Structure 1
Amino acid sequence: MKTPEVHIKATNLAKSVKVSDGSLTILHDISLTINRAETVAIVGASGSGKSTLLSLLAGLDTPSAGEVYLAGHPLHALSEDQRAAIRAADVGFVFQSFLLLPSLTALENVTLPAELAGDKQARQRGLTLLQQVGLADRADFYPAQLSGGEQQRVAIARAFITNPAVLFADEPSANLDAATGQKIEDLLFCLNADKGTTLVLVTHNDELAQRCQRQCRMQAGRFVGAEGVIADVG
């Protein structure tokens, strides 16, 4: 049997921040390994440290202690510019707040990351992705002209425009109604299956988490054991 390719490996991660009376530890001794094309959910209540962990795994922030490797790159040892270059090349993001640029059309929002990377096929690839997410007829619409669900589909198309090795999604359907949220979740898993992209979801929604191959449950900045939960598979 072929050994799975490790895409993300975190070892003994911790994150503390300064507060008025000292320091506050947000994450305690987190270790986790995620293989290529896996779907993994990080679950827990608000304030459990889910989004902080996602930021560290994606290289948006650096740990106070420990190591994190993304696609073989030691994020913990790199500068912000170096981490940004890795994110541009290997990572896609879907956030609950969409983060579309209001002055750009749907197509322009989708193609922007590829154009910044010098992709001369960005427009055609963007149109193809908009068709995949069911928005071919909305390419020239601005975000204000789109519904919440449509804006999130644009954000998903944008996340896939650079063919990322890893896609991080932070509460991707939290701001949507149930029916639209279900469609967005279905789309994420379909694109994951079609493109072999590693998918890491942060959610408090247990139903969404159960759609992933593995679930890692957090409480007070730590992984906690439960049936079906693998806190450290490294």
Structure 2
Amino acid sequence: MPESNKTYAIQVSNLEQRVPTLDGELQILKGVSLDVKSGESIAVTGPSGAGKSTLLALLAGLDNATAGEVWLAGEPLHQMDEEQRAELRGRKVGFIFQSFMLVESLTALENVMLPIELTGAKDARSVAETMLQRVGLSHRLDHFPNQLSGGEQQRVAIARAFVSQPDILFADEPTGNLDQANSSRIEDLLFELNQEHHSTLVLVTHDLQLAQRCQRRAQMNGGQLEAI
């Protein structure tokens, strides 16, 4: 275990990701190393196909790397099976996707209640209602995702990500599917909530203006990470 794990929310060493293709093996990540301090915000930028979303998925324990080490909240993701990674994510991680990833058969309230209920907490409804009020959706509790605008769906997704007060929040192109007005509102909400909860924030974005709001920026090029 890295000696400084209490200082760092994420520590990555020589991370590689290779996938088989019809033309042979494709290397998506090449020897990526990265340290993210607890409470820090960092944006990962770069062109499409550079490996940004792949890196984020590996950092969050959504996938396994071909080689290298990932320490998340001081725990070794690279030594865990899927069940163990899922348990760690439930305790420590929030995730916001570009495509919202809401459960279509659940209302806004039920979507936000879901991560709390998975922990066995009994006050899921009241906590979820409070968080939806916080993101300005107290009048949309009983609406299903297909009854909400894109901006409203992303606000539900943000409420769901923050409701369990995660130590680490990952966001993959959180404003990528939104118009400019909604993008600005979502950005403000994301950073406001993140500061309130003192979470570590790692986001992938093509939007350089959004990236500049983070404390640090790193760029992916050809599967390698370059600090800026």
Q: Deviations over 1:95-127 (max 9, x none)?
A: 011111111111000001101111111111101
C-alpha distance in structure 2 between counterparts of 1:57 and 1:221, whole Å: 15
Tell me the distance in 1 between the aligned counterparts of 2:102 and 2:225. 33
Distance 1:100 1:44 in 2: 27
Q: After superposition, where does 1:199-218 map in structure 2 within 5 Å?
A: 199-218=201-220
Q: Spell out the pairing of 1:28-43 with structure 2 (5 A cutoff).
A: 28-43=30-45
Matching residue of 2:95: 93
Partner of 1:232: none
Displacement, 1:193?
A: 0.5
The answer as to 2:16 corresponding to 1:14 is yes
- 1:88 partner amino acid: G
Contact 2:6 2:74 survives alignment (8 Å)? no
The letter for the 2-side match of 1:105 is T
**Secondary structure of residue in 2 paired with 1:208:** helix
Contact 2:96 2:170 (8 Å CA) reproduced = yes
Residue matched to 2:120: 118
Displacement after TM superposition at 1:22 (Å): 2.0
Amino acid of the residue matched to residue 143 of structure 1? P
Alignment-derived partner of residue 148 in structure 2: 146
SS of equivalent residue, structure 2 residue 174: coil
2:76 partner letter: P
Q: How far apart are the structure 2 equivalents of 1:152 and 1:60?
A: 20
Secondary structure of the structure 2 residue equivalent to 1:48: coil
Query: Could you list the per-position Cα deviations for residues 23-66 of structure 1 after superposition, in whole angstroms to 9, with x for gaps in the alignment?
Result: 11000010000011111000001101000000110011111111
The runs of at least 4 consecutive aligned structure 1 residues that moved more than 2 Å come to none
Indicate the residue corresponding to 2:137 in structure 1: 135
Q: Would you say the 8 A contact 2:8–2:35 is kept in 1?
A: yes
CA root-mean-square deviation: 1.2
Listed as ranges, the gaps of 5+ residues in structure 1 are 230-234
Amino acid in structure 1 at the alignment position of 2:72: L
**Aligned ranges 1:47-196 → 2 under 5 Å:** 47-196=49-198
Give 1:21 deviation, angstroms: 2.9
Distance in 1, Cα, partners of 2:174 & 2:106: 21
1-structure distance, mates of 2:128, 2:38: 24
Report SS of the residue matched to 2:157.
helix
Distance, in Å, in 2 between the alignment partners of 1:5 and 1:224 is 22
Report the number of matched residues: 224
Once the two structures are aligned, what percentage of the paired residues are identical?
57
Residue 4 of structure 1 deviates from its aligned partner by 7.2
